[in-house]
Structure 1
Amino acid sequence: MVCRSWRRVSKDPSMWWIIELDDLASEGMCRRAIDLSDGGLVEIFIGVESEYWGEAILAYMADRSSLLRSLTLSCSSFFLGELFREAVVKLPLLEYLNVPGLKLSRKSLEVVCKSCPNLKTLKLHHCPFSRDIDNSIALIIALSMPGLRHLELCGHPLSNTGLNAILDRCPHLEYLDLRECLHIDLSGNLEKRCLERIKYLRRPNDYPPETEEESYLRDIFLDSGLFDPLYD
């Protein structure tokens, strides 16, 4: 129930290049929004808590959006397994991947590395307080993502070994978030090395990770060139 002018505008595919899907939308509405982009979708946020149709929407989008550059999955019910991997291989232009609170397995991350060579931003937020050191994710990133510029590993159980590998193999890295990484010890030369290499460093004991809205606003400021992260 809109005016004719708005109805004409709403049918323009460029109106649907960026979409946000959450629990207020039905599955049919989500599919319709993807269809309206006519294959031109470049950014999508999926915050659907229904495991069944949330993953169904991810698959539906991947089949119709090969130009996608930004993907955020903010759904506690998602399991980043086979369906996720099947979707990622269809997104070769992906530059931004954000999966807050979701565990990305080594196998899934390897598929991301192989399928998305243009990836520049990777946000992996885990629940902290893991007592066991695990550098597997850090080593995959170091060996397979040399083009990364922005990396968030909040709560990951990597140690100094994993961090050094990332610093060695990711020469373009500018932003590194290590908040709540309890096995990282930045005393001595490692902190000096990070400060020399990284423009914007969040240490393990810095204040807790920001909300999705705060993260989104910060990214806008960083991209604008009007914001100096050293003086945040």
Structure 2
Amino acid sequence: MASSSSSPSPSPSPTAMKEGDYYPNWAELPPELTSSILHRLGAIEIVETARRVCRSWRRVCKDPSMWRKIDMRNLGDHGDMYYEKLCRHAVDLSQGELVEIDIWHFGSDSLLSYVADSSSNLRSLKVAQCHEITSEGLIEAAAKLPFLEELEVSYCSLSEESLKVIGQSCPNLKTLKKNCVGYRRPRDECDDVALAIAETMPGLRHLQLFGDRLTDAGLNAILDGCPNLEHLDLRQCFNVDLVGDLEKRCLERVRVVRRPNDSVHDYPFDATVNDVSSSDDGDPYGLSDVDILSEDEFYYDDLSEYASDNSDFDPYEYYY
């Protein structure tokens, strides 16, 4: 016998709009709220996309306060010149209010000069893996940035003499990050960077020298020349032997110390250590006299197998 009850009516779609529901128009958000949302995007996304969405967003994106901080990184989608053009446009939009800029994986001396000429109130300049930026370009830019408080030059060309000039040009410098590839072997000691810092940057509070070649003497010079130091990062500085009196002095003077062998989990770059192990202390590449063949041995002993079936075999023909 069929049931007398009727089948239940289908449930309304969860996406169906009910009477009285209100879906806000993103274009009508208050400018300060739109600005807060767009700040969560990078400078590249704002220039390329967000400012093209609607007129209200475009107005917000043209506000100089949106461009007080610029973070631009070439992730390989386009060539360097494309990102230089975007960066210059972003600097123009700041209308002189830029206080912090990060440039990664692209850039040139001319771009750095453009930033410095347009942003005399800049407080923070970070350049990383910018192989077209030279020591001369950094010196020229620093001379125009007297209020600079934070400088990063990681995996970039910067001589020790240039570092001195920058220290003299930027008396308000409080943070310096000069990072490079760490070498465990071959052992190479050099305190030039440490001495330049100690001589010209007495106001430093934060110093990161990841992978530097300084020795205990260089570290002592920094402790003498930078009395206000609060944070010191010496990770992969394998020439520093942080024990005994030096360790005690360092820990008494500096609030936070990252040691040469500390974890690199929070380091933003590739932290692979160059470690050319050697089985023979006389050769940095691990080759002994036994491993190196003379020219005669190379051509005639190693290639003799090719001549076994042909008495006319010429070993030089094998290569040419």
Change (3 A) 1:76 1:26: closer
Structure 2 counterparts to residues 61-140 of structure 1, below 5 A: 61-129=115-183, 131-140=187-196
- 1:166-219 alpha-carbon deviations (Å, 9 max, x no partner): 111211100001111111111111111111111110011112373339xxxxxx
| TM-score, length of structure 2 as denominator length | 0.62
Counterpart residue number, 2:86: 29
Q: Which amino acid letter does the alignment assign opposite residue 219 of structure 2?
A: L
Counterpart residue number, 2:102: 45
C-alpha separation between the residues in 2 aligned to 1:75 and 1:55?
13
Unmatched tracts of structure 2, length 5 or more: 1-51, 270-320
Unmatched tracts of structure 1, length 5 or more: 214-232
Larger Rg: 2
CA contact (8 A) 2:161 2:196 kept: no
Q: Secondary structure at the match of 1:109?
A: helix
C-alpha separation between the residues in 2 aligned to 1:137 and 1:190?
19
Shift of 1:76: 4.3
Shift of 1:149: 0.1
Change (3 A) 1:3 1:76: closer
| TM-score, length of structure 1 as denominator length | 0.84
Structure 2 counterparts to residues 158-177 of structure 1, below 5 A: 158-177=214-233
- 1:126-179 alpha-carbon deviations (Å, 9 max, x no partner): 212262221111111112111000001111111111111111121110000111
- 1:155 and 2:211 matched: yes
Q: Does 125-134 or 83-92 show the bigger shift? A: 125-134
C-alpha separation between the residues in 2 aligned to 1:205 and 1:70?
29
Number of corresponding residues: 210
Q: Which amino acid letter does the alignment assign opposite residue 40 of structure 1?
A: E
- 1:185 and 2:236 matched: no
CA contact (8 A) 2:109 2:134 kept: no
C-alpha separation between the residues in 2 aligned to 1:172 and 1:186?
20
Query: RMSD value over aligned CA atoms?
Result: 1.8
Structure with greater helix percent: 1
Shift of 1:58: 1.3
